[in-house]
Amino acid sequence: MGFLGRLFRAFWLLRESPVGMVGVCIVLFWVICALLADLLVALSWIWHPLATVEPLLTPLSPIIIEGGRLINEVPVEEICALISGGENDGMYNCGISWLGTDHVGRDILSRVIFGARTVLIFAPLATLCAYVVGVPMGLIAGYRGGWIDETLSFIANLILSFPVLVLYILILTLVGTSTYNILLAVTFASSPAIFRIVRGVALDLRSREYIAAAQTRGESTWRILFVELLPNARGPLLVDAMLRIGYTTIQIGILGFIGLGLPPPTPDWGGMVNESRQMLIIFPHMAIFPCIAISTLVLGFNLLADGMREVSLKD
């Protein structure tokens, strides 16, 4: 059974944990939202996230659209009753702006759904990048020890002794905010933590017999690291990965919130909260829905991690 097989098994085992299953369901809900976002637009169930409808609509406002343009300030419900089935059917559409619109007139529902896509691309991708950097370093430091370990550990401590968010701000103000730079900053800031976990596991395992056996067989160092050592670290790493994706989601949200996030037109939950912060007193819906979205997604990942920990303890 390869590494991927073991990975799937870890998820499969989750079905025994109700908490984990709730987490899976929440995450899946957002994944499906992200995947189907374009389809929903194509079916004109939601607007395009950049299309402007009518600014400052409250949730559940009935609206009539005439060829993509919105007619307002008419007795909407009565007209809608006339339209449906009448001769103008098709030319006019009746609908409801479920979650209202923001100050520019973009539909909140569609921006929340498209925001799920943004966050579900960037958070796992950034976490993956951090793993790609942190895992090999942790393995080699734990396995070899000596000056490699000392140097890498010092660098890791250097980065970890600094508040994460400050680190992000400094990196991003230095290199500018763009999608690549956010990935870079997240990788830079979270790989030391991964390094520490992997190093600990490698340090613990390197004196085991099967490693000695592999060394005697004349296996290459890389093979020992990735085939013999790494699979044994999968338990803590998987749990950490789930927690970390959730945490990275928060971090990306915070970056959007303080204005260092993804460039503006991108639907980004943190950015949405920031943009509507000033109007919170009159139009709370603009900030509240993205807040609910990000909180549920993070909750999903946290429950998933919890379930995995529970299952791996039973295992």
Partner 1 sequence: MILLVARRIVNMVLLMLALSLILFLSLELDKDSVARSVLGPYSNDEARAAWLENNGYNDPLPLRYGRWVGNAVQGDFGESVIFRTEVSEIVWRRLKATMALAGLVMGIVAPLGIALGVLAGMREGSLRDRFISLTSIITTSVPEFASAPFLLVLFVFWLGWLPAVSTMADGWDWAQIVMPVLVLVLYDVGYIVRITRASMIEVMQSHYIRTAVLKGLRWRTVIMRHALRNALLTPFTVIMLQFNWLLSGVIVVEYFFAYKGFGALLLEVALAKDIYVIECCAMVAVLVAVGTQTIGDIGYILLNPRIRFANS
Residues at the contact surface with partner 1, assessed by CB under 8 A? 154, 157-158, 160-166, 169-170, 173-174, 246, 250, 253-254, 257-258, 270, 273-274, 277, 280-281, 284, 287-288, 290-292, 294-296, 298-299, 302-303, 306
Residue 21 CB, shortest distance to partner 1, in Å, is 14
Sign of CA dihedral 30, 236, 7, 131: positive
CB-nearer residue toward partner 1: 154 or 210 = 154
What does the block give as tokens for 207?
A: 């004196």
| Cα(247)–Cα(253) distance, integer angstroms | 10
Write down the least CB distance from residue 285 to partner 1, Å: 10
Q: Given the complex with partner 1, which of 246 and 267 has the nearer CB atom? A: 246
Q: Which of 188, 204, 189 is nearest to 236 (CA)?
A: 204
DSSP designation for 224: I
Determine the angle formed by the axes of helices 18-42 and 108-144, rounding to 10 degrees: 130
The answer to whether residues 71 and 91 touch, using CB atoms and an 8 Å cutoff, is no
Write down the least CB distance from residue 246 to partner 1, Å: 7
Token code pair at residue 87: 């001769």
The distance of closest approach from Cβ of residue 118 to partner 1 in the complex, given in angstroms and rounded to an integer, is 16
Find out whether 185 and 251 touch, Cβ atoms under 8 Å.
no
- Cα–Cα distance measured from residue 48 to residue 123, given in angstroms and rounded to the nearest whole number: 23
Torsion of CA 63, 69, 74, 78, to 10 degrees: -50
Instruction: Classify residue 229 by burial, with Cβ atoms within 10 Å: 0-12, 13-18, 19+.
Output: buried
Residues near 148 by Cβ (< 8 Å), separated by ≥ 6? 140, 141
Nearer to partner 1, 221 or 296 (CB): 296
Which CB atom, from 161 or from 216, has the smaller least distance to partner 1? 161
- Shortest distance in whole angstroms from residue 119 CB to partner 1: 12
CB of 260 to partner 1, least distance (A): 8
- Residue number, 44 or 296, with CB nearest to partner 1: 296
Beta carbons within 8 Å of 312's beta carbon, 6+ residues apart: 10, 13, 235, 238, 239
Nearest to partner 1 of 228, 310 (CB atom): 310
Q: Minimum distance from CB of 239 to partner 1 (Å)? A: 13
Q: Which residue's CB is nearer to partner 1, number 41 or number 133?
A: 133
